[in-house]
Structures are given as structure tokens and as C-alpha cells.
Amino acid sequence: MSGDKKRIAVLISGRGSNMKALIEAARAPEFPAEIVLVLSNKSDAPGLESAARASIETLAISHKDFFSREAFDQALVEALEAARIDLVCLAGFMRIFSPVFIKAWQGRTINIHPALLPSFKGLNTHAQALEAGVTIHGCTVHFVTEDLDAGPIIVQAAVPVLGNDTEATLSGRVLAMEHRIYPQALSLVASGQVRIEGCRVVRNKKGSGDQMLISPEPDLQ
């Protein structure tokens, strides 16, 4: 099926554990997408090394080399076009896009956020969740729009918040779910099983079920 597979670029700024989960999932012959490029705004991002070890093309484009957010975004757009990318996966990419990127890639860019959106947008989501005293937390894969952490939701997963949780224990539990739902969401988008309708994501095939929320692992309850 290689010829039909969507060509994916993963954009990272750091360790790239979600990137690795996507690379791993895309090894399956039936997976509808292949990771052909890992791009980072930081040349020392550890994820770049992991990607190179997995024989995936890597590219570093530093935002510091550009005089404006728009100029950096334009360079990204051109690099993605040059690599004939179909879909972009943001995986810990710590840059906010200008309309230059959004206009070119809206509807073809997805992101993973470590909270159950629309709760806890922005940074330090696990601290925000602990502070708010929620008993359920989680993660979200969504389409990227101009509004930060607010695009149409593709898949979410929930985990319990335990009484003795710290940011570290809670983030570890959420991260394990991130690694499960990001490949699942990419598969749904790449295979054309979902579409955007207004501000929501809907399934294309009636009766295929809305398995958008994964229950907590039994041993975590």
C-alpha cells in the first residue's frame, strides 16, 4: 500500500517520545501513513537523533535565524512543500504559528495536547489539573487552527487523577495515553475516516462508532 500512504512530517522541539510512537505505529504495513520527515526548530532536540537512528530524514530550522515569526513560518511551509508532505503532526513543537503557516496547513496539521481540551490550554497542564482538583485528566489530539489549543477534537483519552499524584506521576500516566491516541488519531485522519464539520470532527462512515475516549487502564484505577 506504500504508494497510497500519506506522507507525514513530525515537528518537534524536544525529546520526541510522541514522534517515536508515531514512527513505531507507522511501521505496520497496514498503517495509512509514513513518517518521511522530522523537523525541529532546535538543532539539539534529542528527538532528531532518535529519528535519524530510525533512518528518517531530519531537518533543523532555527526560528532564531529569522527576523519574524512569519518569515520562520514561511521557511517551514517551503520545507514541507519541498518534501511533498501531506499531513503535519506537531509533537511537542514549542512554537506558536502565525497566519502564514495556518493558511497553508489548516486542516492538514494535527497536534497532541496533554489535557482534556477545552480544559487546561497552554503550558503546565498537569499542574493546572492538580491545582483545579479534577479527578479525571487526559490528553487530546486535535486539528490546529489559529486559536491556540482550540481546534476540532479528533481523539481524547482520560486517566484518573490519584490522591497522591505529583506532576511527574500524572504526566507519566497521561504520556502513556498520548502514545496510544496519537497514532490512532493520525490513522483516522490519514485514512480519511474523519472530516471537519464546523468546529467538530465527525466520522465519515455511519455506524463505525465514536470511540473517541479511551477508558483508563484498569490497573491505574
Binding site for ligand GRF (CB under 6 A): 12, 14-19, 47, 91-92, 112-114, 175, 178
Sheet of 109-113, strands arranged across: 57-60, 33-40, 6-12, 87-90, 109-113, 136-143, 153-160, 213-214
Closest-by-Cβ residue to ligand GRF is: 92
Pairing of strands 213-214, 153-160: parallel
In the complex, the smallest distance separating the C-beta of residue 192 from ligand GRF, rounded to whole angstroms, is 25
In this complex, which beta carbon is closest to ligand GRF, that of residue 75 or of residue 94? 94
In this complex, which beta carbon is closest to ligand GRF, that of residue 118 or of residue 192? 118
Catalytic, 113? Answer: yes
In this complex, which beta carbon is closest to ligand GRF, that of residue 15 or of residue 203? 15
In the complex, the smallest distance separating the C-beta of residue 47 from ligand GRF, rounded to whole angstroms, is 6
In the complex, the smallest distance separating the C-beta of residue 111 from ligand GRF, rounded to whole angstroms, is 7
In the complex, the smallest distance separating the C-beta of residue 135 from ligand GRF, rounded to whole angstroms, is 20
Pairing of strands 87-90, 109-113: parallel
In the complex, the smallest distance separating the C-beta of residue 114 from ligand GRF, rounded to whole angstroms, is 4
| DSSP letters for 3-61 | GGSEEEEEEESS--HHHHHHHHHHTSTT-SEEEEEEEES-TT-HHHHHHHHTT-EEEE-
CB-hemisphere CA count at 13 Å for 54? 23
The residues that bridge with 142 in the sheet, in sequence order, are 111, 153
Q: Show Cβ contacts of residue 31 under 8 Å, excluding neighbours closer than 6 positions.
A: 5, 25, 183, 187
In this complex, which beta carbon is closest to ligand GRF, that of residue 150 or of residue 209? 150
Cell 495556518 identifies what position?
102
In this complex, which beta carbon is closest to ligand GRF, that of residue 17 or of residue 41? 17
Q: Which of the following is catalytic: 63, 113, 137, 179? A: 113
| DSSP letters for 69-94 | HHHHHHHHHHHHHHTT-SEEEESS--
CA distance 55 to 174: 28
Catalytic residue positions, numbered: 113
